[in-house]
A and B are shown apart, each in its own frame.
Chain A
Amino acid sequence: MKKILTIIFCVFLLTSCSQSKDELVMSTEAGFAPYEYYSNGEIVGVDVDIARKVAERLNKKLVIKDIAFDSIISEVKTGKSDFGAAGISYTEERAEEVDFTINYSESKQIVIVNKNSTIYNLEDINNKKIAVQLGSVADGYLTENYPSVILVREKKFLAAIQDLKDNKVDAVVMDDLPARELITDNMRILDSELVTDSYGMIVKKGNTELLNVMNEVINELKDSGEIDSYILYHMGINDNDTSKNTIFNRIYKSVIYDGRYKYILEGLKNTLLIAVCAVIIGIFLGTIAAVSRNVYENTNHLKLLNLISKAYVTVIRGTPSTLQLMIIYYVIFKQTNINIVLVGALAFGINSGAYVAEIIRAGISSINKGQWEAGYSLGLNYYQVMKNIIFPQAIKNILPALGNEFITLVKETSIGAYIGIVELTKASDIIASRTYDYFFPLILIAIIYLIITLFLSKLINTMEKRLNNVKNK
């Protein structure tokens, strides 16, 4: 028991080295060109350009974290990031949570429809199905002012556009600037805008020191016209050229152009790293939980550990893994600047451990009672019987189920994107956010997942065979 606590504590210490004073951490969701998007493996955009100027002024190194838009405010609130910049519109609700800088850019919320649509002005959108980005200004504005509209809230505005392409919705409402980059020849934008809003960056409430510097920098950049030139520059490198939409060209743009395969490699590395670490943590925790429960049931020892194990398995199996991941990141590691991949490994490991515990428990009970009795009747005690007779036999029965658990685990890592881990799924998302083409990145990572899981199945099969061979030697 003490040992486990010590190990957990050590892992905690190792990973919780505090935020460096020389770094300025910005959180954003890269997938909102021209404000922030990926290019050649790096996050760039108008917001990044402004942020660099701020960092320069403070003589600090800019560190950019790419996380889900919904999480940016809590990142800033908890101090995990110094500020957030993601084309965030000012709303009173948000202003209660964080402090806004002055506006650095204005944007209009416009309505996009298909060319042949019967929607011509703002009155026409009543009672229609409209796609928006979840939690965006468009979402909030329509909910409040157009109650008759049926809203389809997508995680990404790209998905919203895709919905329109597929005729799943009648219109999309979004920011004017990215909209002009996104629309195809088959779409048009209504002449009058829905509402105009303005972007600011956010800092933790009361961090006036940083806020003042940022306002100062933004003011200077605005006056000199530099922000406008940033916007023009980043819109200029838009590579969404619909004229060359051949399959070869789409594959090229999804994988090779702009070094995009690097995201896939990075994603693959993180997916594998998290899965392998989580498997190790999972087996470790699962074995402890399963064995402590069995020890208690057979000898009445380890009462406390048994209770903890029971609670652990119940809680983990009874709550969604996404929730567990977010709780571990935003609640438990709230104040620490911990490596996000480690958080993922830890969260998935803790999650997997509960399932492994039940698998091992089932494996132990699958062993004939006579094996225990024979051991006891030869004068062996519980631990000797467990270690030498029961566990070695249980492992063989457990292996297929354990293999399934690990295959599930590999796929489960895809929810790591929630806290901003660039794993495979996030990698495909990043690419799609640049190419506006979901097909090839998604198919590509589907194939990669398939290869990994097939390889794992094969590996487990081989292990099972080897175990059987040893037995039949």
Chain B
Amino acid sequence: MLKINNLKKNFGSKKVLKGINLEVKKGEIVGIIGPSGCGKSTLLRCINLLETPDSGKLMFEGNNLLDGDSNKDIRRRIGMVFQQFNLFDHKTVLENIILSPVLLKIMSREKAIKKAHELLGEIGLEDIANNYPHEISGGQKQRVAIVRTLIMKPDIILFDEPTSALDPEMIGEVTNLMRKIAKEGMTMIIVSHEMNFIKSFCTRVVFMDDGIIKEDASSKEIFLNPKNEDLKSFLSKINAY
């Protein structure tokens, strides 16, 4: 589904991604871990073209996303969930969810509203459909952001530290929703510091350090039998090994 080849990205003279190779298959749930500043968020943002890579290949379902014009329609098939939720502050929860499908004429307004209520209903958020973002809790905001992505029927969803801006008691409601979506077969890439969640949730984990991927294995292997020395020291620092 997604194939990344020798992807490089610099910010000025600073090399953030020094040649990333990664393949993600349909239905996989890939966690990306690594120390701060190792480039994990940048990698995720490159996949969604929020950052433009300097070189390399970014193949999605056979299309090179870096080929310019062909990526316009593809972008909506790659969902993104942000650390800071990024709900549209001037729109209600419902409006947030239906804005894009209606604007892009994926569905009619009536159908989008119906679908949004349905999705909100599934996770018990019907009551806040007409609230504004500043009126709801962080956990609710992040779940609305996920629903906003879901209504676009993406092939893959990228999660950029989806729980790090949340109060601890709200983390559960977000991870539960993620588990629910995973069960339905969604492909996901997750950047997170929640090691327990990554460990129990992801089918595969990628360890990034210093702009490259240093280890890529199953979740079990990474946490129980790490091979790379940097991974070992990283895990010991966060008491996960």
Chain A nearest CB from B238 CB (Å) reads 27
Q: Is the CB of A376 within 8 A of B75?
A: yes
Which residues of chain A are within 8 angstroms of B188 by Cβ–Cβ distance? none
Chain A nearest CB from B239 CB (Å) reads 31
Q: Is the CB of B103 within 8 A of A380?
A: yes
Partner of B86, one of A371, A381, A396, A473: A371
Q: A376-B75, A378-B100 are in contact. List 13 more A-B contacts (CB 8 A).
A: A373-B80, A374-B80, A374-B82, A375-B88, A376-B48, A377-B82, A378-B149, A379-B75, A379-B76, A388-B99, A389-B90, A471-B90, A473-B132
A392 part of interface (Cβ distance < 8 Å):
yes
- The answer to whether A370 and B82 touch (CB under 8 A), given A378-B152, A379-B152, A393-B89, is yes
Which 6 pairs show the lowest CB-CB distances between chains A and B?
A379-B76, A374-B86, A377-B80, A370-B86, A378-B100, A379-B75
Q: Is the CB of A378 within 8 A of B90?
A: no
B87 part of interface (Cβ distance < 8 Å):
yes
Which residues of chain A are within 8 angstroms of B86 by Cβ–Cβ distance? 368, 370-371, 373-374
- The answer to whether A381 and B72 touch (CB under 8 A), given A374-B87, A376-B50, is yes
A384 part of interface (Cβ distance < 8 Å):
yes
A6 part of interface (Cβ distance < 8 Å):
no
25 inter-chain pairs at a CB distance below 8 angstroms, sorted by A residue, are: A368-B84, A368-B86, A373-B50, A374-B80, A374-B86, A374-B145, A376-B48, A376-B49, A377-B48, A377-B50, A377-B75, A377-B80, A377-B82, A378-B76, A378-B99, A378-B149, A378-B152, A379-B100, A380-B100, A380-B103, A380-B104, A393-B88, A393-B89, A472-B132, A473-B132
Which residues of chain B are within 8 angstroms of A376 by Cβ–Cβ distance? 48-50, 75
- The answer to whether A379 and B73 touch (CB under 8 A), given A373-B50, A384-B103, A472-B132, is yes
Closest B residue, CB atoms, query A392? B90
Which residues of chain B are within 8 angstroms of A370 by Cβ–Cβ distance? 82, 84, 86
Chain B nearest CB from A298 CB (Å) reads 13
Query: Once the chains are docked, how many angstroms separate the CA of A378 from the CA of B81?
Result: 10
Q: Is the CB of B90 within 8 A of A393?
A: yes
Query: Once the chains are docked, how many angstroms separate the CA of A49 from the CA of B145?
Result: 79
B31 part of interface (Cβ distance < 8 Å):
no
Looking at B82, B99, B145, B149, which has the most chain A CB atoms within 10 Å of its CB? B99
Chain B nearest CB from A373 CB (Å) reads 5
B39 part of interface (Cβ distance < 8 Å):
no
Q: Is the CB of B132 within 8 A of A471?
A: yes
Which B residues are within 8 Å of any A CB, using their own CB?
48-50, 72-73, 75-76, 78-80, 82, 84, 86-90, 99-100, 103-104, 132, 145, 148-149, 152
Which residues of chain B are within 8 angstroms of A389 by Cβ–Cβ distance? 88, 90, 99
Which residues of chain A are within 8 angstroms of B100 by Cβ–Cβ distance? 375, 378-380
Which residues of chain A are within 8 angstroms of B103 by Cβ–Cβ distance? 380, 384, 388
Chain A nearest CB from B60 CB (Å) reads 13
Chain B nearest CB from A374 CB (Å) reads 4
Looking at A377, A384, A388, A472, which has the most chain B CB atoms within 10 Å of its CB? A377
Which residues of chain B are within 8 angstroms of A373 by Cβ–Cβ distance? 50, 80, 82, 86
Which residues of chain B are within 8 angstroms of A388 by Cβ–Cβ distance? 99, 103
Which residues of chain B are within 8 angstroms of A396 by Cβ–Cβ distance? 90
Closest B residue, CB atoms, query A376? B50
Chain B nearest CB from A299 CB (Å) reads 13
Query: Once the chains are docked, how many angstroms separate the CA of A13 from the CA of B172?
Result: 68
Partner of B88, one of A374, A379, A381, A384: A374
Closest A residue, CB atoms, query B50? A373
Which residues of chain A are within 8 angstroms of B149 by Cβ–Cβ distance? 377-378
Which residues of chain A are within 8 angstroms of B89 by Cβ–Cβ distance? 371, 393, 471
Which residues of chain A are within 8 angstroms of B148 by Cβ–Cβ distance? 378
Which residues of chain A are within 8 angstroms of B78 by Cβ–Cβ distance? 377
Closest A residue, CB atoms, query B99? A388
Which residues of chain A are within 8 angstroms of B90 by Cβ–Cβ distance? 389, 392-393, 396, 471
Looking at A376, A379, A392, A471, which has the most chain B CB atoms within 10 Å of its CB? A379
Within 8 A of B (CB), among A435-468: none
Within 8 A of B (CB), among A345-394: 368, 370-371, 373-381, 384, 388-389, 392-393
Which residues of chain A are within 8 angstroms of B82 by Cβ–Cβ distance? 370, 373-374, 377
Looking at A373, A375, A378, which has the most chain B CB atoms within 10 Å of its CB? A378
Which residues of chain A are within 8 angstroms of B76 by Cβ–Cβ distance? 378-379
Which residues of chain B are within 8 angstroms of A392 by Cβ–Cβ distance? 90
Chain A nearest CB from B232 CB (Å) reads 35
Closest A residue, CB atoms, query B75? A379
Which residues of chain A are within 8 angstroms of B50 by Cβ–Cβ distance? 373, 376-377
Chain A nearest CB from B43 CB (Å) reads 15
Closest A residue, CB atoms, query B84? A370
Which residues of chain A are within 8 angstroms of B132 by Cβ–Cβ distance? 471-473
